[in-house]
């Protein structure tokens, strides 16, 4: 039996569905080069703004692990440290043998219009994920949680950005919110993919021994990732795959092993991103996840991802 992990995604053949989540190992050019050389099927940059940003004060990332050293999850409040959109645009001009997504998170509508206006004219920029869900900018709400603002934003950006566009969504928790958000996305034909989902915003992790928070920004509040978020991520992947059948869904949240990748695809994901676990384990995680996914497919007798993609059974 021969297993093929390839996926057709917006006219491209992506050899493996597994790659990094924006934010992990993707700020600097050497980090991006390492992703390009790894067995990830694609790579995505850190969300970019008009200007270079240092991000929030450190410590701003903390890994939660159990007594056996197994990762439970993470909390971060990075605050969009990035090299600026011009830098990632320059990176897009470099030769590489796998697709590059550029994540964009302008500080306001004007910044998103400036960045996407320039990207629209550059044939080297092919795949853009517009991040409407960063929870860590002091004083700024997550656009994805205000449907009116989100629709306005999408109306404006799709007027100037004519290429296929993806949106990175915050996690939603209410059936009515899934439906309302999906109705907005379905109004825009150029929105071709939805990434479900960003971290669980504004959690609080504390250390009872020191009686303290564990990250510095926002008095310890930050986005939660890892195992804690997997059921929420799967719910968002599955809900939007049903409600937006013409769009690709990219799964993100709680991926630590091949079974997690399998489950995201079973719920309808075309591609699957890895965040917290990549941060902890490093780039070799892509080899491990690939092997583990192939092993599950072999046992189940699946040769391609479409043999099981979206085929979740109900009771």
In 10 A of CB 19, how many CB atoms? Answer: 26
Nearer to ligand OXC, 20 or 77 (CB): 77
Number of H-type helices and E-type strands within the chain: 9, 16
Residues 273-312 that bind ligand OXC (CB under 6 A): none
Contact string (CB under 6 A) for ligand OXC, positions 79-98, x = contact: xx------------------
Nearer to ligand OXC, 7 or 133 (CB): 133
**254 forms part of the interface with ligand OXC (CB under 6 A):** no
CA distance 93 to 104: 17
Beta pairing partners, 272? 18, 251
Residues 32-61 that bind ligand OXC (CB under 6 A): 47
Give the residue closest to ligand OXC by C-beta: 223
**78 forms part of the interface with ligand OXC (CB under 6 A):** yes
Please report how close the Cβ of residue 264 comes to ligand OXC at its closest, in angstroms.
18
Nearer to ligand OXC, 26 or 297 (CB): 26
SS3 29: helix
Q: Encode 106-135: b = buried (16+ Cβ within 10 Å), e = exposed.
A: beeeebbbebbeebeeeeebbbbbbbbbbb
Q: Which two tokens stand for residue 37?
A: 């050389």
E-only strand ranges, the chain: 7-9, 12-14, 18-20, 43-44, 61-65, 71-76, 100-104, 127-131, 165-169, 191-196, 200-204, 206-207, 212-213, 221-226, 248-252, 271-274
Contact string (CB under 6 A) for ligand OXC, positions 186-205, x = contact: ------------xx------
Q: Which of 20, 77, 241, 256 binds ligand OXC (CB under 6 A)?
A: 77
Nearer to ligand OXC, 16 or 133 (CB): 133
Contact string (CB under 6 A) for ligand OXC, positions 209-228, x = contact: --------------x-----
Nearer to ligand OXC, 80 or 233 (CB): 80
Residue listed under structure tokens 């044939």: 123
Residue listed under structure tokens 């109900």: 314
Judged by CB under 6 A, which stretch of 34-42, 75-83, 228-236, 294-302 contacts ligand OXC? 75-83
Q: Of 237, 10, 226, 250, which Cα lies nearest the Cα of 131?
A: 250
* C-alpha distance from residue 179 to each of 113, 132, 164, 304 (Å): 27, 17, 22, 30
Contact string (CB under 6 A) for ligand OXC, positions 139-178, x = contact: ----------------------------------------
Please report how close the Cβ of residue 206 comes to ligand OXC at its closest, in angstroms.
18
Q: Give yes or no: 134 in active site.
A: yes
**134 forms part of the interface with ligand OXC (CB under 6 A):** yes
- Please identify which of the residues 26, 48, 134, 244 carries the catalytic annotation: 134
Q: Of 13, 4, 40, 26, which Cα lies nearest the Cα of 288?
A: 40
Judged by CB under 6 A, which stretch of 5-13, 28-36, 132-140, 144-152 contacts ligand OXC? 132-140
- Number of residues interacting with ligand OXC: please give it, by CB under 6 A: 15
**Half-sphere exposure (CA, 13 Å, Cβ side) for 285?**
24
Show which residues are catalytic. 134
Residues that bind ligand OXC (CB under 6 A): 23, 47, 76-80, 131, 133-136, 198-199, 223
């Amino acid at each position: 039996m021969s297993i093929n992990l390839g996926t057709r995604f917006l006219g491209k053949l992506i050899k493996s569905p597994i790659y990094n989540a924006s934010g992990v190992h993707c700020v600097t050019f050497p980090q991006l080069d390492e992703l390009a050389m790894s067995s990830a099927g694609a790579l995505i940059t850190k969300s970019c703004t008009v200007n270079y940003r240092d991000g929030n004060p450190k410590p701003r990332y903390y890994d939660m692990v159990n007594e056996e050293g197994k990762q439970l999850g993470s909390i971060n409040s990075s605050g969009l440290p990035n090299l600026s959109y011009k830098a990632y645009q320059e990176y897009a001009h470099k030769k590489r043998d796998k697709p590059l997504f550029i994540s964009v998170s302008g500080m306001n509508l004007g910044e998103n219009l400036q960045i996407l206006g320039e990207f629209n004219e550059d044939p080297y920029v092919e795949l853009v994920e517009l991040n409407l869900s960063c929870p860590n900018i002091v004083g700024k709400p997550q656009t994805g949680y205000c449907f009116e603002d989100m629709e306005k934003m999408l109306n404006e950006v799709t007027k100037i950005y004519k290429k296929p566009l993806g949106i990175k969504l915050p996690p939603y928790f209410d059936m009515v919110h899934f439906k309302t958000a999906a109705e907005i996305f379905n109004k825009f034909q150029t929105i071709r993919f939805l990434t479900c989902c960003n971290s669980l915003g504004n959690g609080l992790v504390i250390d009872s021994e020191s009686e303290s928070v564990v990250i510095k920004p926002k008095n310890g509040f930050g986005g939660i990732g890892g195992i804690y978020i997997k059921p929420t991520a799967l719910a968002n992947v599955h809900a939007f795959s049903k409600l937006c059948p013409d769009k690709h869904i990219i799964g993100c949240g709680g991926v630590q092993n091949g079974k997690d990748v399998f489950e995201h695809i079973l719920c309808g994901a075309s591609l699957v991103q890895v965040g917290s676990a990549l941060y902890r384990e490093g780039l070799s995680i892509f080899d491990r996840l690939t092997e583990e996914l192939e092993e599950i497919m072999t046992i189940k007798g699946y040769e391609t991802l479409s043999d099981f993609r979206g085929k979740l059974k109900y009771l």
